[in-house]
Amino acid sequence: MAGSETRYTLARPTFDKPVKLLIVVAPYYKDIADDLVAGARAEIEACGATCDLVEVPGALEVATAIGIADRRSNFDGYVALGCVIRGETTHYDTVCNDSSRALQLLGLQGLCIGNGILTVENREQAVVRADPGAMNKGGGAAAAALHLVALARKWGGQRRGIGFRPASEDIILAGDSNGPDRA
């Protein structure tokens, strides 16, 4: 049983400047979501950080809310919380895969996200994983986000020339006398 294994846990990160996270939760299973949020808040507070909380209708909307918040607000990182329990149809697979994929894509764009969306076979598994006194997956997701914020701060801000350039920037550079590749 996975619950009886010993796991290594990283030490909590420390920060010299304030950290603010956004917890985005899909409270479809309200009691499970409440436990996930409680675990996440406790971990965030233990690191001396602060957080805001927003609820969305379901797991598929969590990544969209994080993307909107990143473009329009000033959070250092994000905690994605929710629960998807297998049902009788393939909808479970779609929700699990697509919500996870969307969060991963945002992370690869540089957002500091801890994924605490539970994907379980039954309610009993969800209860144990959400419980702050048991597996505490909400706390684990918050810890992941905090560790990523610490890494982002350690490595500094984004440097010019990393990643893709918007098409409008290519057009400007194409008219430059140095040519598009020698900006």
Per-residue pLDDT of the chain (183 residues; tens, 9 = 90+): 455 778 899 999 999 999 999 999 999 999 999 999 999 999 999 999 999 999 999 999 999 999 999 999 999 999 999 999 999 999 999 999 999 999 999 999 999 999 999 999 999 999 999 999 999 999 999 999 999 999 999 998 655 555 555 666 555 555 555 444 544
Q: Provide CATH code, domain 18-158.
A: 3.40.50.960
- Using CA atoms in the order 48, 38, 69, 13, what is the torsion angle rounded to 10 degrees? 30
Question: What ranges make up the beta strands (E) of the chain?
Answer: 20-25, 50-55, 77-85, 113-120
Instruction: Give the tokens for residue 99.
Output: 């919500």
Q: State residue 7's pLDDT score.
A: 83
- The region that residue 68 occupies, defined by phi over 0 for left and psi between -120 and 50 for alpha, beta otherwise, is alpha
Q: State residue 31's pLDDT score.
A: 98
Active site residues: 91
- Stated as kind and residue range, the H or E segment containing 101 is helix 91-108
- pTM of the complete model: 0.84
The rounded distance, in Å, linking the Cα atoms of 144 and 115 is 8
Q: State residue 76's pLDDT score.
A: 98
Contact 36, 130 (CB under 8 A): yes
Contact 70, 128 (CB under 8 A): no
Q: State residue 72's pLDDT score.
A: 97
Q: State residue 183's pLDDT score.
A: 43
